[in-house]
Amino acid sequence: MSETIVKVNHMTKKFGDLLVLDDVSFDVKKGEFLCIVGPTGCGKTTFLNCITKLYEPTAGEILINDKPVNLKEDNIAYIFQEYSTMSWLTVEQNVAFGLEIKKKPKDFIKQEVDEVLEMVGLTKYRDYYPSELSTSMLQRVVIARAFAVKPQLLLMDEPYGQLDVELRFRLEDELLNLWRKTGTTVIFITHNIEEAVYLSQNILVLTNKPTTIKAKLENDLPFPRNVTSPEFIDIRSKVTDLIKWW
Amino acid sequence: MTGRNLKGISKYKKIYAAVISIFVFLCIWQLAVMFTDVGIVMVGPIEVIKLFFVSMVKPIGHDTIQMHIVWSLSRVMTGFVIGSALGVVLGILMGWFRPMNALFRPIYEIIRPIPPIAWIPLSIVWFGIGEPSKYFIIFLAAFSAITMNAFAGVRAVDPELIGAARMLGANNRQVFTTIVLPSCVPHIFAGLQIAIGSSWATVVAAEMVRASQGVGWVIIRGQDSNSTVQIMVGIVAVGIVGFALAVLMRWIEAKLCAWNVRGR
Amino acid sequence: MSKEMIICDNVSKTFETSRGDVNVIGNVSLTVNENELLVLFGPGQCGKSTLLNCMSGLERVTTGSVTINGRTIDSPGPDRGVVYQRTALFPWLTVMGNVEYGPKVRGMSKSERREKAQYYINLVGLEGFENSYPNQLSGGMQQRVGIARAYCNEPDVLFMDEPFGHLDAQTRYLMQEDLIKIWEKEKRTVVFVTNNIEEAVYLADRIAVLTNCPTTVKTEYEINLPRPRDYIDPEFLRLREEISSVVDKAL
């Protein structure tokens, strides 16, 4: 379990003279659930875009399994806030999409899709179109699509930011379940401190721009966690104090 | 995100790319004319550009090329201004007052699909071969695009904004003047943009049918006198002015609608 | 006993749609006291906003009645202010133009309304942004403009329809804290709609928990925690848990 899968070395990003990311280094272990939190307006989007290679970092490198990130070879899945399903495809086709792009054999796709649909409880809805589903169902389709490709790394950018709290809690629990079952490595970016403490094994706290790492906190509370327990509140306050600007 | 990114990087690169692409196009054209059979039916860009500049001092017919452009522009502006003014008024009235819509919509829908140049013969019968017949055709070209857009603009006003204004105490008249009118300005500009384009296209067509000056006349005169170069000079003038008009409209829109993302 | 400001008496609302009638509000009777901050809390797509619109006069009730200060409400009016989730700011007006809009359409003189607008712009912390357009402001600042605009008409009642729903968690904390500060300085009767339980407990004098469609009032809670409240105070968290457990699950 201690094998390092992602290694970020001295990642720096400048836009012209504007320094946005300043010498960021961290490791993610295989199977780890890492949450990244920072103050509003910190360079978290730039941060993410560097990892996903939308931007080329000005300096530094990102290694996956000791090799520079290669989006063609490395199996990385993303879930963003503006989660999108393809409206002209059924639930099943949506979930199979990533596997089909990777040109996997038909029966393999069928098997994988069946399995992941079962895990998120969408088997009954496999032939529905996205427009026929509720928000929570859509979220599950997006999650299923990400997990279907059995990613080495799953990047999530504030996926539950706009949801009802109740629904968020439920989806967070489902995410934790999937994570435990599949052993996927997850990097989860959020503004919500409680969410970060609820989900993560490790918390990376970012500073305001130019973004650096302020602290890395270990969070070894046992699952399932109780947001009202003193230990939980203790970690939550610690993170809040590191971030608080309001 | 990606779009913003592209826009940010390439302001100068875009101009750069445009210059290169035009230059390469001209080179290929010139080479094709010099070394292939294309030369039989077409003249090269160097000749065209040369005549273009020559015609700025030496008249084609009675006027220099810039005077021809001015002639065409003055026709466009007359028709365009009247057409836009009436189009904006009718479009907004149709959008805001349902009876107006019920009354005018059917007539408008029938007239709209008729291309303005189809009216040329009739307009000559009605207004003679002078300027008014050309104004009339351009008026039609501008009018129909703008009416449609002004109408759509009124219909697209966010009902929540109207609700907010009423909640703050605005009466019907105030809702119309302070919410509906400003809301549809971006739509009207989109309409003006289309209208100026189609007006310009229409004036060229009208001048090709009946005129003794203007860029359309330059083209048709070139045909009559078997001068391919002169035809090309006319076409180049049409292209440059059409492009300049579009840029000008966008610039005015950006100035007047700073609050709107479309204007950016 | 404080004065009863808003009285919803057996309010119901049915929308006629192409697929038949949809009953959005069941049968709601609710009283809001003067200068009270009442939170309407309920799951996802239930009729919270519709109920709020019925109270503000933007929508008409199908049966029952809403009265404010004894006057029956059946149309919009400037004695009620609304703050919207999607801000509903007028994009072609500056911050000043938006905030002074209400007094302006009601015919107040320029110098008078400018002074008043300036006061409320300062109150929400937007000094120096008077001449900015809404699209030049961040989400949180836009919502401040919305609050100032609603306040500037000096309404008896303020209706807030999930105003912080689109903001990130941290900006949201800031806005909640500031809203309470503003409200304590300029007390008004406020009806605040949210689907965020943390926000509800932080803000409310009283929480009315609504059911899913058709919306009815499931139960009410008086929140007597002293202000400023602490999001991680044990009693705060206990209330939060208790109220969450009562609410219907969103689909």
Domains of chain C (ranges, CATH numbers): 1-79+156-251 (3.40.50.300), 88-154 (no CATH)
Q: What is the mean pLDDT of each run of 10 residues along chain A (246 residues)?
A: 83 86 91 92 80 82 86 84 83 91 89 91 91 85 91 90 78 91 92 93 90 90 89 92 85
Question: What angle is formed at CA C75 by the lines to CA C72 and CA C79, rounded to 5 degrees?
Answer: 75
Same-domain pairing of B11 and B84: no
Mean pLDDT over C177-189 rounds to 93
**B55: CATH:** 1.10.3720.10
Q: Which residues of B touch C80 (CB under 8 A)?
A: 167
> Residue A134: what pLDDT?
82
User: Nearest-CA neighbor of B153 among B102, B95, B87, B83?
Assistant: B95
Domain positions in chain A:
4-75+151-243, 89-150
Q: Does B12 touch chain A (CB under 8 A)?
A: no
Q: C50, C75, C92: which to substitute to probe chain B, counting the most B Cβ within 10 Å? A: C92
Same-domain pairing of B141 and B21: no
Same-domain pairing of B8 and B58: no
Same-domain pairing of B50 and B38: no
CA–CA separation, A29 and B107 (whole Å): 71
- Using one digit for the tens of pLDDT, what is the confidence trace for C132-158? 999 999 999 999 999 999 999 999 999
Give the minimum alpha-carbon distance from A87 to chain C in angstroms, rounded to a whole number. 20
Indicate the CATH number for domain A4-75+151-243. Answer: 3.40.50.300
> Residue B6: what pLDDT?
44
**CB within 8 Å of chain C, chain A residues 110-149:** 134-136
pLDDT band (50, 70, 90) for residue B9:
low
Q: C101, C137, C152, C159: which to substitute to probe chain B, counting the most B Cβ within 10 Å? A: C101
Q: Which residues of C touch A242 (CB under 8 A)?
A: none
> Residue B263: what pLDDT?
38
Q: What is the distance between the terminal CA atoms of chain B, rounded to a whole angstrom? A: 16
**CB within 8 Å of chain A, chain B residues 180-219:** none
Mean residue pLDDT across chain B: 88
Same-domain pairing of B96 and B18: no
- Using one digit for the tens of pLDDT, what is the confidence trace for B158-188? 999 999 999 999 999 999 999 999 999 989 9
- Chains meeting B at 3+ CB pairs closer than 8 A? A, C
Q: Which residues of B touch C88 (CB under 8 A)?
A: 158, 160-161, 163-164
Same-domain pairing of B55 and B72: yes
Which residue of C82, C92, C134 is in closest CB contact with B164?
C82
Which residue of chain A comes nearest to C248, CA vs CA?
A166
CB pairs under 8 A between A and C: 59
Q: How many CB atoms lie within 10 A of CB C11?
A: 22
Contacts of C126 (CB under 8 A, 6+ apart): C95, C141, C144, C145, C148
ipTM of the modeled complex: 0.88
Enclosing H/E stretch for A133: none
**Spatial contact of C76 and C58, defined as CB atoms under 8 Å apart:** yes
- Count CA within 13 A, CB hemisphere, residue C160: 32
Cβ <8 Å between A162 and C165: yes
Same-domain pairing of B88 and B191: yes
Same-domain pairing of B14 and B109: no
Cβ <8 Å between C78 and B165: no
B158: domain range? Answer: 46-263
CA–CA separation, A60 and A57 (whole Å): 7
Cβ <8 Å between A40 and C43: no
Same-domain pairing of B115 and B214: yes
**pTM, to two decimals:** 0.83
